[in-house]
Structure 1
Amino acid sequence: MYSSLRSLADDTFCLRLQRAARVWRKVSDEELSNLNLSEATTTPLWLINKLGEGLRQRTLAEHMGLEGQSLVRLLDQLESAGLVVRRDDPSDRRAKALYLTDAGRKLAEQAELVVRKIRARLLDGVPAEHLAIVDGVFDKIITAAID
């Protein structure tokens, strides 16, 4: 039993945030399956494509909010599929730099189009100012978790 409407709203927010993330992942996985990708494998492809060739593996992990080992498994899949290449970083031999293959670059661009269509469909009718507020809330959550 809830002692206040505020505690109910707090719990509901968490549940709705989790559900929205699950729905986004499910829809993304379904749509991206036509490219033999998932939401999880698309994200590193997209980020490497956007942030630039030679992106350090650690930097990618930070952008994705993943621990190193989880990212390594994703990169192993992408490398086995011929989409990503890991090389020693020329400025730090301990670090790995990430590069897209031609096939990886092409697939990243195709996946971006699919994700844009998903975003347009799921957010149809949501005013830009509401999206800006949600982005601010996400930034606040992420910053609070990191600090």
Structure 2
Amino acid sequence: GRSCTGTLAVSIEDVNDNPPEILQDYLVICKTNMEYVDISAIDHDDSSNGAPFYFSLANTSPEINRLWTITRVNDTAAHLAYQKNAQFQEYFIPVAVKDRAGLSATKTLRVNLCDCTNPVQCRAAARSADVILGKWAILA
């Protein structure tokens, strides 16, 4: 018998089956000294189906469109900024992120536009409010 030796190269192509994912859920912006907050995304696909990402406000109310903007920072991040006339309060802002192949996902970010100098002040206040609500909810 004869034998033969050869090399076989197998190339496996990535399928764009994972939309990009925004990493943040809850953000605090101290209106007195912060003009924006950074949001970023990751994609579990190969780089050919990943970044650069395109961020946008998604199906938002006219009020959100009037008060908030998104500006690209780099391939995986953007600035979420408020207009000066935005009031101190918590906002729910749907943000869409799309990968280079067009697959997209939307996430609603909880953004606390707060009267503070350090975001920790508002995070602590939000946590204590949750604890108080939790105690009253148990008693109800």
TM-score, normalising length: structure 1: 0.19
- Name whichever structure is richer in helix by fraction: 1
- Name whichever structure is richer in strand by fraction: 2
Q: Which has the larger radius of gyration?
A: 2
TM-score, normalising length: structure 2: 0.19
